[in-house]
Structure 1
């Protein structure tokens, strides 16, 4: 049987998911909703779907097995609420929201409904991340050095605090998520940030955090959107006799045998889409970031962002590591 999927949000990441899904056998993207008619029509045309002006029209018109929510951070909330009411399996692009309260509310409703969910932390599907996890299993990391030093994306909402949540929440969240996956939960720390006159919008354009993990490992996480292009986007891990440098494209391993580079062999977005569709069909369950797991990362990044904009102390919710 054909798995029928609706897509809300026809921007860059929504288009990547649409193309990935359309390439799978037995999957049909049947509707694409976006308030910009040109974008909805362009993505819908590529995958043989119908274009809709809004998600409510899409949900009213189509019989769906699952819904992809690929909206800007401030767009989360109402569309997920409607999908939960319909009992639809949900794929939600990160971040979960600009704030924590919206994500907590949705997580509670999803948990009560028992819905299948997946969140777009696609770095979790990198084969190089699996390699790194295997290497760290016997030699746990003692230090994490993460940086997202880049330019500001060209979309108008990104540099507006109320619409994106800032760079830590919207972009560097991938690094915090991978650190949680490879090192464990964070117990506390501090963060500082600043905004220069040259910075875009009203977000902090430089931010750095010093964190301690429950394992005793320590880490620093720095981000900036002031550069003309991406110069350093990745995470380094230091363990006894082992150094790892991980980006979205490759892993560099330094150990007693020397230094070697391992290029990724999989498209992580295609991999996460295949895993989600398989779970929707009940054929397999390799969903690596269900909503409850992604919520733990969102709790962390919102705490870091609040500290950087406030008194500097990262105050983690008591539920930071709690399962729902």
Structure 2
């Protein structure tokens, strides 16, 4: 069997999540790892019998790479993607796409022009209970949605900085925005609000510690989102949807379906990250492309997240025009 040779740019926590999946695939070879923390790249390379590189340019000099995973913090996007596109390599990139919308728009155009296979890590689309929600809503579309990301503050200091993470709506709640788009359709208008309090345990934290957004969808549906990082535990992360005679509550591990006859819960089965990685590898290998969120589709979600942040800063509703 010819193996698909994969390189990694960034070997932090989310990269390790993908590595735990990819190492199970008989048709994948983990060929090289690049990280600004070279010791981290060395650790990964020694585990998988690969090569370690101090930067992405050195990794991309490997002429036998078939595809690349880009797992870097929000503020670091841009140069790595440009270099991968210049090599003509398919790539999987973790969200959010960039803190600069112009950069993300530029990369999307370059991907389209090059005709590259791409995937973005909106893995909620691969949760099997989400497919049950899509089936229920197919002929009875949602009219109201409520989304939540009520959680603790992630430990990396870069996450605490607006100019490094983009804030909770952009870095975390973007999963819920994407799920809402997947189930309800495109968003055409947003209005965001944000609040902040200083926290001694998180020096330099300047991201909103509480934020909300109202959404209007092209379908006519309306919705709201609520986020906070003030807790010391994960309280609620999910999306509630309401249609004619139907209430759905989705989390990343189950779905509650209420039609007025009790509140039965169905639990998710297979690993959604395994599914998204498998679909990406299959597409790279020239098999059926089942990727649910290529770069251009992820950009539509990213526009919404950044528009919410802009709205909160400027105190006005933001219209999201098609293609912008």
Report TM bin, short chain: over 0.9
The runs of 5 or more residues in structure 2 that have no matched partner are none
Contact 1:98 1:164 in 2 (8 A): yes
Equivalents in 1 of 2:47, 2:254: separation in Å? Answer: 30
Q: Which runs of 4+ in 1 moved over 4 A?
A: none
SS at match of 1:63: coil
> Aligned residue for 1:262?
266
SS at match of 2:15: helix
Distance 1:228 1:62, change over 3 A: farther
Equivalents in 2 of 1:44, 1:141: separation in Å? Answer: 47
> Aligned residue for 2:308?
304
Q: Report the Cα offset of residue 317 of structure 1.
A: 3.9
TM-score (norm 1): 0.95
> Aligned residue for 1:247?
251
Contact 2:188 2:321 in 1 (8 A): no
> Aligned residue for 1:32?
33
Contact 1:31 1:62 in 2 (8 A): no
> Aligned residue for 1:166?
167
Bigger shift: residues 187-196 or 110-119: 187-196
SS at match of 2:125: helix
> Aligned residue for 2:18?
17
SS at match of 2:18: helix
The count of aligned residue pairs is 320
> Aligned residue for 2:281?
277
Q: Report the Cα offset of residue 318 of structure 1.
A: 4.1
Q: How does 1:204-223 map to 2 (within 5 A)?
A: 204-223=208-227
Contact 2:33 2:59 in 1 (8 A): yes
Deviations 1:168-219 (A, max 9, x none): 1111000000000101111213111011122841111111011111111110
SS at match of 1:190: strand
Q: How does 1:1-324 map to 2 (within 5 A)?
A: 1-61=2-62, 63-198=64-199, 200=202, 201-320=205-324
Equivalents in 2 of 1:110, 1:285: separation in Å? Answer: 16
Deviations 1:44-71 (A, max 9, x none): 3333322222111111235210000000
Q: Report the Cα offset of residue 19 of structure 1.
A: 1.8
Equivalents in 2 of 1:65, 1:163: separation in Å? Answer: 30
Equivalents in 2 of 1:160, 1:47: separation in Å? Answer: 33
Deviations 1:213-239 (A, max 9, x none): 111111001111111111011110011
Deviations 1:119-175 (A, max 9, x none): 110001110111110011121111101010111111111111111111111110000
TM-score (norm 2): 0.95
